Amino acid sequence: MEHQLSLFYGLSFLTAILAFAFAAYLYLWVKKQPAKNAKIIEVSKLIKEGANTFMRREYKILAIFALVAAVIIFILLPEPVWSGDPLDNLAMAIAYLAGTALSAIAGKIGIMVATLSNSRAAEGAQKGIKPAFLIGFRGGAVMGLLVVGCSLFGVAAVLMIVGDASILLGFSFGASSLALFAKAGGGIFTKTADVSADLTGKVELGIAEDDPRNPAVIADNVGDNVGDVAGMGADLFDSNVAAMTSALVIAQSLSGDGMANVSMIFCYAILGLLSSIIGIATARVGENGNPTRALNSSTYVTTAVFLVLTAGATALFEGFSWRIWGASATGLLVGVIIGITTDYFTDDTKPIVRKVAKASGSGPAFTILSGVSYGFISALPAMAGIAVSALVAYKLCEPMGAGYAVFGISMAAVGMLSIVGMIISNDAYGPIVDNARGLAEMGGLGEETIQTADALDSAGNTVKAVTKGFSIGAAGLTVISLLGAFMSEVNVALEAAGKPLITGFDIMSPTVFFGVLIGAAIPAVFSAMLILGVDKNAQRMVAEIHRQFNTIKGLKEGKPGVQPEYGKCIDIATSGALRELIPAGLMCILATIVVGFIGGPLAIGGFLLGNIVSGLLLALFMSNSGGLWDNSKKYIESGEEGGKGSEAHKAAVIGDTVGDPFKDTAGPSINTQITVVSLVASLLSTIFVAFSLFG
Amino acid sequence: MEHQLSLFYGLSFLTAILAFAFAAYLYLWVKKQPAKNAKIIEVSKLIKEGANTFMRREYKILAIFALVAAVIIFILLPEPVWSGDPLDNLAMAIAYLAGTALSAIAGKIGIMVATLSNSRAAEGAQKGIKPAFLIGFRGGAVMGLLVVGCSLFGVAAVLMIVGDASILLGFSFGASSLALFAKAGGGIFTKTADVSADLTGKVELGIAEDDPRNPAVIADNVGDNVGDVAGMGADLFDSNVAAMTSALVIAQSLSGDGMANVSMIFCYAILGLLSSIIGIATARVGENGNPTRALNSSTYVTTAVFLVLTAGATALFEGFSWRIWGASATGLLVGVIIGITTDYFTDDTKPIVRKVAKASGSGPAFTILSGVSYGFISALPAMAGIAVSALVAYKLCEPMGAGYAVFGISMAAVGMLSIVGMIISNDAYGPIVDNARGLAEMGGLGEETIQTADALDSAGNTVKAVTKGFSIGAAGLTVISLLGAFMSEVNVALEAAGKPLITGFDIMSPTVFFGVLIGAAIPAVFSAMLILGVDKNAQRMVAEIHRQFNTIKGLKEGKPGVQPEYGKCIDIATSGALRELIPAGLMCILATIVVGFIGGPLAIGGFLLGNIVSGLLLALFMSNSGGLWDNSKKYIESGEEGGKGSEAHKAAVIGDTVGDPFKDTAGPSINTQITVVSLVASLLSTIFVAFSLFG
């Protein structure tokens, strides 16, 4: 069996390298597409420079944070360095840094490709949907392949070298702490720029979305890259690593053939990546085809291929269980179902978006009230889906022996995330074609090209909602299994300390309950801090835009040769995002530590539960309300309910502005927040067992 | 000891009768205040008729619902009638009906006094703050005294007659099921009218809040009565009964001197009512005094008197424990602290309201975003307060023996609700002076009188936020102890069925977890249904107002003798509220039943936890955001940030409109929703033990 595991380590590296090679091929393919329009090249360069400046400044801050964290980790984890084996501490610290580094690299390369693809997609749009779609999608796929390749490679390498999955918690924490800040920082940047550009441009002046007169327009396009490409990539890198880590931590504590289970986790990850490669390679759209359908059908292809391949592996390899295959398949299918229900609430061909558009006719208060309401309702099916898949996975695997039930849940998360390569490709496609639309307008490529780019952009929006539902669901399942991982870690520590083990977290215990209530409040406070960050920042940027319109002569009127000072807006977005990015993330980590020191492991168990539950609820609510408002606005802009410029449109724009930080700053950051908190809890379990006030 | 309990039954009846007598005295005092202005008498009559029509139609529907429920209860509870003693079933059904009847009577009398006090307070305002304050406050106090008197009388009578606290669950369910619908129906009515009146009057036409030209103005004033007076009264009647019931159910299962504990519960309730009477009797405001301070200081007086009296009782009576006094005092003090933090987030002399007002200058999206954010943050201190008080009460009472820990939590809830008579008086004061302000304007009493009424109204708003925080906190603690009551009921059923008892609800159990996730989604869906009810209904009413403005000649211009058709708007609010009131409440009850039949008692334990946690979070968020927006608008109207008519003001009005159903429809209904769900669970525990899919 040891032999079999070596086989899967080898295959993991090979598959990761295959993914990198395919990514390189796609990158070169995108690069050789034509980019000739001088105006577009100029603007695209501005976007690229803005994105790089932000990333450089952000990474500088994060490097300091990571180094400080690595030192703390070296001193304290897995056990205080003076009481354990210092080599373990060193391994943990290095694994942590490796996690942060891989996450940063994936983000950086993603930005590189995205800022390369946007201009080419814009020019491709002149020739029609087909070539532009392929450029946008393949640019996104580079990111998807890299992220999944890095996570598979990293997890396999760390585990092979240290041979102990607990050290992987450090790697995973590295990935997720970076993701937390990257998502928060990028999210604040992108929405500061987007909101300010919309309010001053669309609402006040009535000019188009990407009108080059608007000083915030470049910052807005930079934001798409740093928020949606780099941030989302870091987020899904982190989810993927966390899902594998929690499965591996639980697998190594299982009775029976633990090695077979470890092999199986790698096997599923490998097959997931292969399925995504197949899905990516076959993605196509016809000459006048529907890009939404093309993106969705690639997802279904990937799903089907994965289910077939893993079934084959289960039949082939000794020690692979059909029950676990079932758990994993359940996770994946529920992911698809969550995606479909999300789509129901956010797609403008479905009734909900139209109801909100209609309500906008009575004024913005109704836009907000109906959007909030449907957002609340949309949380139910997704939460029920997560609840049912966890229940089914548990019951399926329970007969296999002690600990297998929770392992089943972790494999449902692995299953749901297996096609994450495809998911990221779809997701990164969005900001690329969104940029392309902007470039087409700023480069003056004509109305027809803009319309083509619009169609591509709208598909990006719809698919984004689906992938968001998917990643929230996956985070939910991952964190449930991290709760299991936390309990095993606590029991290891309790056993070492000669204290009685815990068998669970009873909600009738006031210590657990205490944790639940505090834990539930954290995602709300976290979201609020991010939204207020956008709010404050956007107010500063709006003031700057007004200043430019008032002082730069001929700017408002569009006098030829007069250009706004784009750099000032990029600066405001950058420095604001960097200022706001640390406090919110740090608050969550500190809250976990405080609760742990007050109530010990039992309070932390409750804290994690409260955090997951309210985190899922708020993440679903905010992502879906935001998507709903965005598409209601687009629906009205397509000429319904009075069309552009009507009162309904004005109301819908306000709804969209509220929804922007909901769906692109706070909502998706909550995923990462709950993962980070769970990992901090697992990492510090030994310390909480040793010191706590009431524990 | 039996002797001692009889003493407390006797004292309960006596105190309740004292409260009724004092209420009658205050009623007659209010009635003999002058009401001479013909215009005011006419309008006040319209309001009274509108409120009575709504109440009559609402109670007709609720009577049918209650009768159906009583029949189901008779057939099934506490055990199916064919397998247990039919007399028990009859007792349960009658207790249920008594609960609904007392709740309905308290609501009805509250409306009667409120519609009597409003006109007198308006005329009192001509003579200054002092007399008007006293009329408003004493009118509210009639309601407060009645509600608390009824609940003490009802609980004592039911328990004395049947001698089994489990039957009280039926009484409590009667009170809370009626409260659920009364709160939902009244909440939808009041906000439909308020939102429509504001949008068409203030925003579109720029006329004053209570301008008699607005066809919705009478409906708006009717709404204050049916929503805030009758609805809030039913809500707090229900909380008070539920807190006592859960304490009594737990007390009767305790080892040791159960009778002393039962006596103590009644003793605390009696002393709470006496303290409220003292607080009410001493409430005064100086000639140019500050009404907010007067209301708050009466609350503090009541709190101090209660703490001293209960300490005296603990010293005096054999078997009364200081530990339990400590638990109860903790609950009360945390209630006060929650009130103070709520005040921090919603008072316009504090920074938060001013920040939101400032953000409004950048447009309505910023009003919404900052209000949502601060609302989220405001949930943390209150939830931490509830968590800490539950933990302290538990730890204080744990050494007393098995079961005492949870009893301690239930006594913290009883403590927090002990001063509820005072709380309701403060709360009902709000809509009375709000009405008075409207009447002063419609009766043409002059600018000075309107300003006096405004000052009184603004105090009502601030105090309302505080009492809301209070009642949410109390609901939280009550429901935690109801979770304990549910577990004892389940174990009684399990013991009878010869099955192993449960010792708690472990969140690592997938059945519990399944319940938690579904339970957490319910308050969100429930809120959404109510908000959508307001949303749909207000759209209908806005259309009707536009019709009247367009077709009734001279109305807009205020031509003398031209009157709008007030009745049409009252009709729309009434029939809409009645249509929307049943589905949301029924959804919660059905969801509980479905989860119980799928997952059995374990899933229900999780379901209740999820429900409490997300319910508290959303209730705090919505109440506080709503209060915050309302006061930001008022702050701007006082001349800050550009004052009335500025862009900031328009944005703030939109925020206030969003906040209206948040704070007066959905937010406060969640309290009742979580209580109802907990009671349904306890009542059906026997059935869930016998039949469930995975339980």
Cα B618–B624–B625 angle (5° rounding)?
Answer: 85
Phi/psi for B528 (5° steps) reads -60, -40
- Alpha carbon distance B331, B411 (integer Å): 8
Asked if A372's CB is within 8 angstroms of B609's CB, the reply is no
Which one-letter amino acid corresponds to residue A479?
V
Scan for tokens 């504001």, then name that residue. Answer: B198
Which one-letter amino acid corresponds to residue B664?
D
d(CA A653, nearest CA chain B) in Å: 9
Residues of B in contact with A532 (CB under 8 A): 369-370, 373
pLDDT for A235:
86
Q: Is B684 on the interface with A (CB under 8 A)?
A: no
d(CA B5, nearest CA chain A) in Å: 30
Cα–Cα separations (whole angstroms), residue B155 to B12, B175, B414: 9, 11, 13
Q: Is B380 on the interface with A (CB under 8 A)?
A: yes
Tell me the pLDDT band of B18, cut-offs 50, 70 and 90: very high
pLDDT for A256:
65
Q: Tell me the two tokens of residue A661.
A: 């930080």
Q: Is A512 on the interface with B (CB under 8 A)?
A: yes
Instruction: Report the pLDDT averaged over residues B79-96.
Output: 89
Q: Which regions in chain A score pLDDT beneath 70?
A: 1-3, 256-258, 695
Mutation target among A199, A352, A366, A612 for the B interface, most CBs of B within 10 A: A366
pLDDT for A257:
62
Instruction: Name which of B199, B395, B525 is nearest A363 (Cβ-Cβ).
Output: B199
Residues of A in contact with B341 (CB under 8 A): none
Residue B363 near residue B216 (C-beta atoms within 8 A): no
Measured from the Cβ of residue A318, the count of other Cβ atoms closer than 10 Å reads 9
Chain A, residues 249-308, CB within 8 A of chain B, namely none
Quote the radius of gyration of chain B (alpha carbons, Å).
Answer: 24
Higher pLDDT: B80 or A358? It is A358
Residue A143 near residue A278 (C-beta atoms within 8 A): no
Q: Tell me the two tokens of residue B221.
A: 């004033």
Residue A616 near residue A383 (C-beta atoms within 8 A): yes
Residues of B in contact with A373 (CB under 8 A): 527-529, 531-532, 535
Residues of B in contact with A616 (CB under 8 A): 517, 520
Tell me the pLDDT band of B695, cut-offs 50, 70 and 90: low
Contacts of residues A196-203 at CB distance under 8 Å and 24 or more positions apart, as own/partner, are A196/A538, A196/A541, A196/A542, A196/A545, A196/A569, A198/A653, A198/A656, A198/A657, A198/A660, A199/A538, A199/A542, A199/A657, A199/B362, A199/B363, A199/B365, A200/A542, A200/A545, A200/A546, A200/A549, A202/A653, A203/A650, A203/A653, A203/B363
Asked if A480's CB is within 8 angstroms of B359's CB, the reply is no
Cα A330–A331–A335 angle (5° rounding)?
Answer: 115
Tell me the pLDDT band of B164, cut-offs 50, 70 and 90: confident
Asked if A521's CB is within 8 angstroms of B391's CB, the reply is no
Length of chain B (residues): 695
**Residue B453 in this model has a pLDDT that exceeds 60:** yes
Computed over every residue of chain B, the mean pLDDT equals: 90
Q: Tell me the two tokens of residue A463.
A: 């698919």
pLDDT for A189:
93
pLDDT for A3:
61
Residue A247 near residue A266 (C-beta atoms within 8 A): no
Instruction: Report the pLDDT averaged over residues B448-471.
Output: 82
- Alpha carbon distance A187, A53 (integer Å): 16
Asked if B513's CB is within 8 angstroms of A387's CB, the reply is yes
SS3 A506: strand
Asked if A621's CB is within 8 angstroms of B363's CB, the reply is no
pLDDT for B78:
82
Measured from the Cβ of residue A402, the count of other Cβ atoms closer than 10 Å reads 11
d(CA A238, nearest CA chain B) in Å: 23
Residues of A in contact with B504 (CB under 8 A): 506-509
pLDDT for A692:
85
- Alpha carbon distance A260, B58 (integer Å): 65
- Alpha carbon distance B294, B291 (integer Å): 5
Q: Is A390 on the interface with B (CB under 8 A)?
A: yes
Asked if A369's CB is within 8 angstroms of B654's CB, the reply is no
Mutation target among A192, A198, A199, A372 for the B interface, most CBs of B within 10 A: A372
Residue A666 near residue A579 (C-beta atoms within 8 A): no
Asked if A379's CB is within 8 angstroms of B521's CB, the reply is yes
Q: Tell me the two tokens of residue A141.
A: 């796929």
Which one-letter amino acid corresponds to residue A159?
L
Asked if B609's CB is within 8 angstroms of A365's CB, the reply is no
Q: Is B397 on the interface with A (CB under 8 A)?
A: no
d(CA A286, nearest CA chain B) in Å: 40
Residues of A in contact with B359 (CB under 8 A): 535, 539
Of A93, A130, A98, the C-alpha closest to A452 is: A130
| Per-residue model confidence as pLDDT tens digits over B345-402 | 988 889 999 999 999 988 899 999 999 999 999 999 999 999 999 999 999 999 998 8
Tell me the pLDDT band of B258, cut-offs 50, 70 and 90: low
Higher pLDDT: B581 or B271? It is B271
Instruction: Name which of A387, A528, A538 is nearest B373 (Cβ-Cβ).
Output: A528
Cis ω before B78 (30° cut-off from 0): yes
pLDDT for A447:
87
Asked if A503's CB is within 8 angstroms of B376's CB, the reply is no
Which one-letter amino acid corresponds to residue A78?
P
Measured from the Cβ of residue A32, the count of other Cβ atoms closer than 10 Å reads 9
Residues of A in contact with B357 (CB under 8 A): none
Chain A, residues 643-662, CB within 8 A of chain B, namely 654, 657-658, 661
| Per-residue model confidence as pLDDT tens digits over B90-126 | 999 999 999 999 999 988 888 899 999 999 999 999 9
Chain A, residues 532-591, CB within 8 A of chain B, namely 532, 534-535, 538-539, 542
Residue A139 near residue A428 (C-beta atoms within 8 A): yes
Tell me the pLDDT band of B257, cut-offs 50, 70 and 90: low
Burial of residue A107, with CB atoms counted within 10 A of its CB: 0-12 exposed, 13-18 middle, 19 or more buried:
buried
